């Protein structure tokens, strides 16, 4: 087990890459999907199920954890890994996206953001320094800089203002982070869908020599084509030997197309949220288990899958659970979805190593188009 944080690039296929991130708490195989554990739990699943589904790392949320149970309390209880019974790597986002989403409940200035809790209306302050401090108290392995994420579409001058502020906050985040060899601070490239701004942001962050780089401010209302164009405009200016993380993305198709363009890391609430709303992601495409056509279907979601939720439960039973509002339905569909996302990136890793990524993507999409019947 290493005591350092490092990234090794093992193979490429076009712009697609596969490698490994080494951390003291374990290896992260890339491309990787990180299930979202907003409040210290991947909703509906035991930690052992998340691990068995193929997850090398999960994500926790600074904003939610600072409000409940509190960063200092988590630290006093032994850190998030011990508290959540997840001894493997954890990435925490900075809280910037959630704070910016509060709109009328926040006030932004050049030093940080003052906001009111959505839970009880109490007033809080987040700065780059406090965001990093919270993440260190949580004992995160990968810490994100504090940034300003704005929704798209937006005026170019507003996108530029937020990008420049995020760059200033990146420098402050780096100073606050200090030296932690076993952990990593990632910068966040902003700039909306304006290629020149994305380049300026990426080049300035690269000059800070951080351990990894994220693309933020995407999947916030823009079409997929604009998101992919922003990746293409940014990728040439990201250090080749550092991991690249596309924040908050996305659908299986978004992930496959982003891997094709050189992205290594992903997170999204979609598989867990969809599971709680009756939707299963499968190699046959999406299935809405609320649909009456599944009421008498004795087949499992996919008899070839390794995940028990996918392989062992009849679609008719899942339909019944969803229609009845039984929590087991949410749990089983979430388990299926997390396993599917992890399988999707595992397949991508193998295909990149073997130089057949384009064929892999074509085959996956053919399966979606063909459907289950």
* CATH number where 11 lies: 3.20.20.105
State how far the Cα of 261 lies from the Cα of 244, in Å rounded to an integer.
11
Specify whether 338 is located in the same domain as 217: no
Q: Is residue 295 part of a domain?
A: yes
Co-location of 74 and 171 in the same domain: yes
At residue 273, the pLDDT reads: 97
Q: Please identify which of the residues 267, 297, 330, 343 carries the catalytic annotation.
A: 267
- Residue 267 catalytic? yes
Q: Does residue 188 form part of some domain? A: yes
Question: 186 with 287, same domain?
Answer: no
Task: Give 123: exposed, middle or buried? Use CB within 10 Å, 0-12, 13-18, 19+.
Answer: exposed
Q: Are residues 66 and 97 in the same domain?
A: yes
Identify the domain boundary among 252, 268, 284: 268
Quick check: 336 and 309 in contact, CB under 8 A?
yes
Q: Would you state the pLDDT for residue 118?
A: 85
pLDDT at residue 109, rounded to an integer:
93
pLDDT of residue 274: 98
Domain shared by 344 and 257, yes or no: no
Q: Decide if 217 is inside a domain.
A: yes
Tell me, yes or no, whether 149 lies in a domain. yes
Among residues 212, 244, 268, the one where a domain terminates is 268
Residue 373: inside a domain: no
For the chain, what's the residue count? 373
How do residues 10-43 score in pLDDT, each as one tens digit?
A: 999 999 999 999 999 999 999 999 999 999 999 9
**338 and 196 together in one domain:** no
The pLDDT score that the predictor gives to residue 103 is 62
Kindly list the distances between the CA atom of residue 157 and the CA atoms of 164, 192, 231, in Å, as whole numbers in the listed order: 11, 11, 20
| Annotation marks residue 93 as catalytic | yes
- CB contact at 8 A, 62 and 39: no
pLDDT of residue 175: 98
pLDDT score for 83: 97
Residues 102, 240: one domain? yes
Looking at the structure of the chain, the number of domains it has is 2
Q: Does 165 lie in the same domain as 79?
A: yes
Segments in the chain forming alpha helices (H):
47-52, 62-67, 71-76, 80-84, 96-100, 128-138, 156-177, 195-206, 224-234, 252-260, 270-276, 308-311, 315-324, 327-353, 357-370
Owning domain of residue 332: 275-367
The reply to whether 288 falls in a domain is yes
Partners of 188 in beta bridges:
214
Domain end among 225, 241, 268: 268
* Among 42, 49, 114, residue whose Cα is nearest residue 84: 42
Any domain includes 372: no
Low-confidence ranges of the chain (pLDDT < 70): 1, 100, 102-104, 373
Same domain, 251 and 305: no
Q: What is the pLDDT of residue 184?
A: 98
Distance CA 139, CA 113 (A): 23
Q: Looking at the structure, tell me whether residues 292 and 244 fall in a common domain.
A: no
Q: Which of 13, 93, 141, 297 is catalytic?
A: 93
CB proximity list for 291: less than 8 A, separation 6 or greater: 319
Alpha-carbon distance of 4 to 28, in angstroms, equals: 13
Shared-domain flag, residues 209 and 335: no
**Is 336 found in the same domain as 214?**
no
Q: Is residue 1 part of a domain?
A: no
């Amino acid at each position: 087990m290493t005591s350092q944080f490092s990234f090794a690039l093992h193979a490429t296929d076009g712009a697609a890459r596969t490698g490994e991130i080494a951390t003291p708490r374990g290896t992260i195989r890339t491309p990787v999907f990180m299930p979202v554990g907003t409040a210290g739990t991947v909703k509906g699943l035991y930690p052992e199920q998340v691990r068995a589904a193929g997850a090398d790392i999960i994500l926790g949320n600074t904003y939610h954890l600072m409000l409940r149970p509190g960063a200092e309390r988590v630290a006093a209880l032994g850190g998030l890994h011990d508290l959540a019974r997840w001894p493997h790597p954890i990435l925490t986002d900075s809280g910037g996206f959630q704070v910016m989403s509060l709109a009328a409940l926040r006030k932004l200035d050049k030093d940080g953001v003052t906001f009111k809790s959505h839970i009880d209306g109490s007033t809080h302050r987040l700065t780059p320094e406090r965001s990093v401090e919270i993440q260190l108290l949580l004992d995160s392995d990968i810490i994100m800089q504090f940034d300003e994420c704005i929704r798209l579409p937006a005026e170019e001058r507003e996108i530029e203002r937020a990008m420049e502020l995020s760059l200033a906050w990146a420098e402050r985040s780096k100073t606050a982070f200090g030296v932690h060899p076993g952990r990593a601070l990632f910068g966040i490239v902003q700039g909306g869908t304006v290629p020149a701004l994305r380049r300026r942001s990426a080049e300035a962050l690269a000059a800070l020599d951080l351990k990894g780089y994220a693309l933020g401010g995407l999947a916030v209302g823009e079409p997929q084509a604009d998101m992919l164009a922003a990746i293409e405009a940014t990728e040439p200016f990201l250090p080749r030997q550092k991991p690249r993380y596309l924040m908050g993305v996305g659908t299986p198709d978004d992930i496959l197309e982003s891997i094709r363009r050189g992205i290594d890391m992903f997170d999204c609430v979609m598989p867990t949220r969809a599971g709680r709303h009756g939707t299963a992601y499968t190699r046959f495409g999406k299935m809405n288990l609320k649909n009456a056509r599944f009421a008498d279907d004795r087949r499992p979601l996919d008899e070839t899958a390794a995940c028990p939720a996918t392989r062992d439960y009849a679609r008719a039973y899942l339909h019944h659970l969803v229609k009845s509002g039984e929590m087991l339905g949410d749990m089983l569909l979430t388990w299926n979805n997390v396993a599917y996302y992890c399988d999707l990136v595992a397949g991508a890793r193998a295909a990149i190593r073997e130089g057949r990524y384009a064929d892999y993507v074509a085959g996956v999409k053919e399966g979606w188009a063909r459907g289950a019947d």
